[in-house]
């Protein structure tokens, strides 16, 4: 039935990540058994905790908000032939910029909140502009540049907080209520979790990515450049401009992800001892989601659920949270090894199994 509704390539693309998730969960269960834990009890605690406990449900939705936007940043760049591994740094500068605007400006909420989110997007876009220009003009590989810019973002943000924004507690001041995404109503519904209105922004981000890439002529150009730069140049497209634009838009998505943390989850920014992990998790989310908007949303739901549900596994079943990290790593491994899965599928089909 599925084969009749979807083309063969679509069926394969859908099956590979699902099979990767299944293998990751299966081998994770085996690891639990070998280490003396009950996988049935552990996974039951994970699932029941998320869906039966309002607090964990709220925390899961909160967790998937930045994950979705970070995944969109990676997916957008990948769709246009680029690998933006600097999403982590773009998240950090977006977080700082949004918090700064949330602190220093005194505006009505209808203006202040959008301006603060836009500040995060612009900061992330600027951080994506630099590797984009270097790639377009000088053919400097974006992976090398963006990796280095992650560290520049981390230490620059820490310096600016220490020098100009530090208050007791090794953090900035709290943002004005007019720039906050926090929702007492949503928090009361979810047993006072940190759920905020940022999930609406994440959903809008999915729509924006889909619309740009698949419903605009500029999106067609961006995808064409990603498929073949030489053919795109021959057809009259400005390859250099499209490379820069792709990195700018990708960085904008990542900057908004940082804004969700600054304006929604925390309401301030602390001095960071290391990377937040949101940007790097975004790479895994985009990979599992096949670099599509809906795929990224579903993958972030899985990853966010696993991360938050791991806390419930430890509380109810005594399973260490590190085992969930193993499951996530296994899922990523099997998605990255999609060639093996496709080979097995082809062998099964040829042998008529």
Q: What is the pLDDT of residues 266-295, one digit of tens each?
A: 999 999 999 999 999 999 999 889 899 999
How many C-beta atoms lie closer than 10 Å to residue 163's C-beta?
8
Please, which residues bridge with residue 167 across strands?
A: 171
122-148: average pLDDT = 96
pTM of the full structure: 0.92
Joined together, the tokens standing for residue 315 give 């509380």
What is the per-residue pLDDT for 283? 93
Could you tell me what percent of the chain has a pLDDT over 70? 92
What is the per-residue pLDDT for 340? 66
**Given a cut of 90, is residue 338 above it in pLDDT?**
no
What is the per-residue pLDDT for 267? 97
Closest CA to 150 of 134, 127, 129: 127
**Given a cut of 50, is residue 1 above it in pLDDT?**
no
Greater confidence (115 vs 325) lies with 115
Show Cβ contacts of residue 252 under 8 Å, excluding neighbours closer than 6 positions.
Answer: 73, 121, 122, 124, 125, 128
Q: How confident is the model at residue 342 (pLDDT cuts 50, 70, 90)?
A: low
173-198: average pLDDT = 95
What is the per-residue pLDDT for 219? 95
Q: C-alpha distances in angstroms, 129 versus 53, 87, 248?
A: 42, 12, 5
**Residues 28-50: tens digit of each pLDDT:** 999 989 988 888 888 888 887 77
* Residue 178 DSSP code: G
What is the per-residue pLDDT for 270? 96
What is the per-residue pLDDT for 350? 65
What is the per-residue pLDDT for 329? 86
């Amino acid at each position: 039935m599925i084969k009749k509704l979807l083309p063969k390539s679509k069926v394969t693309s859908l099956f590979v990540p699902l099979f990767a998730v299944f293998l990751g969960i299966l081998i994770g269960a085996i690891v639990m058994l070998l280490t003396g834990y009950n996988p049935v009890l552990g996974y039951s605690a994970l699932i029941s905790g998320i869906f039966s406990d309002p607090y964990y449900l709220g925390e899961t939705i909160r967790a998937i908000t930045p994950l979705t936007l970070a995944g969109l940043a990676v997916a957008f760049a990948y769709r246009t032939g680029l690998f933006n591994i600097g999403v982590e740094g773009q998240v950090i500068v977006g977080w700082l910029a949004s918090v700064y605007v949330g602190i220093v400006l005194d505006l009505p909420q209808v203006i202040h909140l959008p301006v603060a989110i836009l500040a995060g997007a612009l900061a992330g876009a600027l951080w994506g502009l630099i590797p984009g220009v270097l790639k377009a003009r000088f053919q400097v590989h974006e992976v090398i540049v963006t990796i280095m810019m992650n560290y520049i973002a981390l230490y620059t943000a820490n310096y600016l907080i220490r020098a100009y924004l530090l208050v007791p507690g090794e953090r900035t001041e709290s943002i004005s209520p007019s720039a906050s995404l926090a929702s007492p109503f949503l928090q009361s519904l979810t047993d006072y979790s940190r759920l905020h209105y940022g999930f609406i922004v994440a959903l809008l981000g999915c729509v924006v990515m889909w619309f740009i890439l698949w419903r605009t002529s500029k999106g067609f150009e961006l995808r064409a450049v990603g498929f073949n730069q030489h053919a795109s140049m021959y057809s009259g497209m400005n390859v250099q401009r499209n490379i820069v634009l792709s990195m700018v838009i990708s960085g904008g998505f990542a900057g908004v992800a940082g804004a969700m943390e600054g304006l929604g989850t925390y309401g301030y920014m602390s001095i960071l001892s290391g990377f937040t992990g949101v940007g790097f998790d975004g790479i895994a989310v985009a990979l599992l989601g096949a670099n599509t908007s809906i795929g990224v949303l579903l993958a972030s739901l899985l990853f966010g659920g696993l991360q938050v549900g791991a806390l419930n596994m430890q509380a109810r079943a005594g399973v260490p949270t590190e085992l969930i990290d193993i499951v996530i790593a296994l899922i990523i491994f099997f998605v990255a090894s999609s060639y093996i899965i496709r080979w097995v599928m082809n062998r099964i089909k040829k042998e008529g199994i």
